[in-house]
Amino acid sequence: MKINYQKIKQDLQPFSAPAYDRDKMQETIQLAKKCYSEKLISERIGFWRFIAVQVRFIERWIWLAQAASFLLFLFLLKQYHFGKYDMQPVFLLFSSVAPMIAFIGFPEVLKSYSHNMEEIESCTRFSMRKLMGARMLILGLADLCCLTAILAASAASNGALLLRMILYLFVPFNLTCCACLTVIEYVKNRYDGYLCAIVCIICIIVFRKLSFMKDCYEATATGIWIIMFLVSIGYLAIEIVRTFRCLNRFCSKEKTLSVTW
Amino acid sequence: MELTLNKLTKQYRDKTAVDSLSVTLTPGIYGLLGANGAGKTTLMRMVCGILNPTSGNVLLDGKDTISMGESYRDLLGYLPQNFGYYPVFTAIDYLLYVAALKGLTASAAKVRANELLELVSLQTVSRKRIKTFSGGMKRRLGIAQALLNDPRILVLDEPTAGLDPKERVHFRNLISDISKDKIVILSTHIVSDVEYIADQILIMKAGRLVHQGKPDEITASINGYVWECKADPKQSEQLNDRYIVSNLKHEGNQDMLRIVSKQKPYENAVQVEPTLEDLYLYYFSEQFGENELPDKNQIL
């Protein structure tokens, strides 16, 4: 049946719209807005969504620094002609870059304290512990991806040394992370980010010095590296748990929140 | 809704910051007055769960807030006295960041952030970095972040520090508008911030609650203690040394003084209606000890 809109319009023309109170209309609109707003802010996100949102708030220079580290490594790897007999420069490279990758992330993890944000962040739905956990998870995964990419690039050049490359990369990285987490756990103040940076620089120097000692990087020393790898993994797991616990308890020890933890 | 502070104590090695403080708060605005070092900030931090009390507890409708954890923090909005920010953040970024911490969805965060930026008159600078803001603008942004989750319990520590008189009036009106069905605890040195909007005044001294009541009730407690008199500059100086002078105005070759004293301080002094500021000075004047006022022999 064809609807004749024109006729309908003509039929309705004689009728006028009923009068209405404009103020009431405005009031209705305001109440509707208020109801919508209340419904909207009553919903809450879950923890995994919270972690995903935190990625957005990690500073851009972190991602750029990680990308730059990786590209620099590739460039230097090419310079050193990986696969030649003298592997010394390559081991030096591995031992230096791994602590540097750890170095990039720690100040970002601790920025709540260095920027005096911990009071506000401590009394939100997602506690300080969850926030720090989210940051450590995101940056830890990013570091892992970076290290894996470096390994993949190295393996593409010389796959025979893959096991040793894993050890030479991850042992310095693990030990640097352990040292930084120990600092966070025991030295509680606003400048922990800087202390972690100093620890990372010390680790870079130590492993650079170590890389000049050829005996340390012989195939015969692989057993020692494996032991160090396992010990560092275990210690890292323990330090992560202890650091989390310390994040929740720090308030009870301090004199004033803004000065010490 | 009832927030009970039950014998809250915070003890440090060499100082008791809060000493067995007990008070029950129901929806309304509470002005927390006290001098520096009275324990206001420590008390507020314990209410917000940032500091663990040495003893005592904070109960919300009978439940311990520490055991409530996330569900209690979900009801909170807190503006600290010295709050930080990430310099690279813009105003909108900052609010979206705090909204995420408060668990708001992305759409709710955007709507709420824009609403609040308009409310605190920062919508024109929402895309500017916080490090370019003046002190007053930062403080307004801090107020906005405290309101993001429409908190049932709002704790504001010196919220009007750095705000000009117009902004302070705007802030007072804002708090009055939003305080329905909320517990608002407002600590300040600026007596006029709470004088007109607070339902109850809590006066803290040396970690203890020394007085609590409606503004007109507690100012009535010093009825008969507030005087106005005229004196020449030399006598004015002597009176200033001996008494609590809440106001001194030079009028030609005479000074008009407003004095808080139990006894008549000067022969031509007349009693006047006390204000909350007079009460504040009465409690916190360093000239005298625990609420002590000069002896009657000191009338000139």
A132-136 contact pairs (CB < 8 A, 24+): A132/A244, A132/A247, A133/A244, A134/A50, A134/A51, A134/A54, A135/A54, A135/A58, A135/A108, A135/A109, A136/A109, A136/A240
Q: Looking at the domain assignment, is residue A217 inside a domain?
A: yes
Q: Looking at the domain assignment, is residue A82 inside a domain?
A: yes
Count of residues in chain B: 300
CA atoms within 13 A on the CB side of B89: 19
Strand order of the sheet with strand B270-271? Answer: B244-251, B254-260, B226-231, B270-271
Instruction: Return residues 150-169 of B near A (CB < 8 Å).
Output: 150
- Contact by Cβ (8 Å): B256, B7: no
Nearest CA to A46 out of A135, A125, A118 is that of: A125
Q: Looking at the domain assignment, is residue A18 inside a domain?
A: no
Q: Looking at the domain assignment, is residue A148 inside a domain?
A: yes
Above 50 in pLDDT, residue B296?
no
Chain A contact present for B272, CB below 8 A: no
φ/ψ of residue B143, rounded to 5: -65, -40
Q: Looking at the domain assignment, is residue A178 inside a domain?
A: yes
Q: Looking at the domain assignment, is residue A125 inside a domain?
A: yes
Tens digit of pLDDT for each residue in A72-107? 888 877 776 655 556 667 766 777 778 888 888 888
Contacts of A165 (CB under 8 A, 6+ apart): A94, A151, A154, A155
Q: Looking at the domain assignment, is residue A172 inside a domain?
A: yes
Q: What is the DSSP string of B47-70?
A: HHTSS--SEEEEEETTEEHHHHTH
Take residue B149 and report the two structure tokens written for it: 């989750």
Number of domains in chain A: 1
Q: Looking at the domain assignment, is residue A15 inside a domain?
A: no
Domains recognised in chain B with CATH numbers: 3-214 (3.40.50.300), 222-298 (no CATH)
Above 90 in pLDDT, residue B78?
yes
Question: What global pTM score does this model have?
Answer: 0.84
Which residue range(s) make up the domain with A197?
Answer: 61-251
A256/chain B closest Cα distance in angstroms: 8
Chain A contact present for B182, CB below 8 A: no
Highest mean pLDDT among A9-13, B21-25, B256-260, B282-286: B21-25
E-only strand ranges, B2-134: 3-11, 16-25, 28-34, 55-60, 63-64, 76-79
Kindly report the average pLDDT of chain A as a whole number: 82
**DSSP conformational letter for A79:** H
Q: Which of B54, B101, B155 to mutate to test the interface with A (most CBs of A within 10 A)?
A: B101
Take residue A107 and report the two structure tokens written for it: 């100040």
Spatial separation of the C-alpha atoms in residues B231 and B254, rounded to whole Å:
6
ipTM surpassing 0.95: no
